[in-house]
Amino acid sequence: MYEYLNGVIADIGENYVVVDINGMGFRTICSQNTIKDLNIGKVTKIYTELVIRDDNIILYGFSNKTELKIFKLLTSVSGVGPKVAVSVLSSLKIDELTLAIATKDYKELTRAPGVGKKTAERIILELKDKINGDSSIIATVTSDDSDNIIQVVQALISLGYNYNEASMALSSIENKNRPVDSLIKEALKRLSRI
């Protein structure tokens, strides 16, 4: 119903922001990662998802379209509601989440409050192919040049490997605090053994 809100951030709470649009305040539930990107008094565009339940109508807000897309994917998983999806998006950055799903690292997903082992395994099972097949998510995840891990994944993808293969090769490297070129060489060695 609402694609986005474009207005002044009037208030920031623990898990929500209020967007003032011409004197009307829209309270939107947000992840901690979105809240960190916002400042009171600044005009901002918040991408939204309206969730209607029997007893409540809640507007969820996101700082970018990729986070909104991941939220929708998470809520499509059996047993994962909007509250748990926001918890996951608050506990993990998008690149950490997609890497955890691609590498089947359920322990990383259980960092989020409300996500146990079974829920984490279900998220991985139901979303692995959807995230790996979505080029817009991969493009967003691999666009952060300041993160060596993401640069390596991007390089491997450009060499013809898919996101899952690149993530798996990188996850098997113990010392990731090395130069990008060294990590790429090591990942290529591991991929050639497969």
Could you tell me where the DSSP H helices lie in 31-116?
A: 32-36, 65-75, 82-91, 94-102, 106-109
- Sorted by where each begins, the domain ranges of the chain are 4-62, 65-135, 142-193
Q: Give the confidence band of 139 by pLDDT, cuts at 50, 70, 90.
A: low
Give the closest residue to 8 by CA, choosing from 20, 17, 26.
Answer: 20
- Tell whether the model's pLDDT for residue 144 goes beyond 50: no
Q: Based on the number of CB atoms within 10 Å of its own CB, is 40 exposed (0-12), middle (13-18) or buried (19 or more)?
A: exposed
**DSSP H or E run through 172:** none
- Tell whether the model's pLDDT for residue 181 goes beyond 50: yes
How does pLDDT run across 14-58, given as a tens digit for each residue? 999 999 999 999 999 999 999 999 999 999 999 999 999 888 999
- Could you say which of 3.40.50.880, 3.40.50.300, 1.20.1530.20, 1.10.150.20 is the CATH number of the domain covering 65-135? 1.10.150.20
Q: Do 142-193 and 4-62 have the same topology in CATH?
A: no
At the top level of CATH, the class of 142-193 is mainly alpha
> What's the average model confidence in pLDDT over 125-135?
75
Q: Average model confidence (pLDDT) for the chain?
A: 86
d(CA 184, CA 181): 5
Position 145 scores a pLDDT of: 37
Position 137 scores a pLDDT of: 59
Give the closest residue to 31 by CA, choosing from 76, 74, 78.
Answer: 74
For the domain made up of 4-62, give the CATH fold. OB fold (Dihydrolipoamide Acetyltransferase, E2P) (2.40.50)
> What's the average model confidence in pLDDT over 61-82?
94
Position 10 scores a pLDDT of: 97
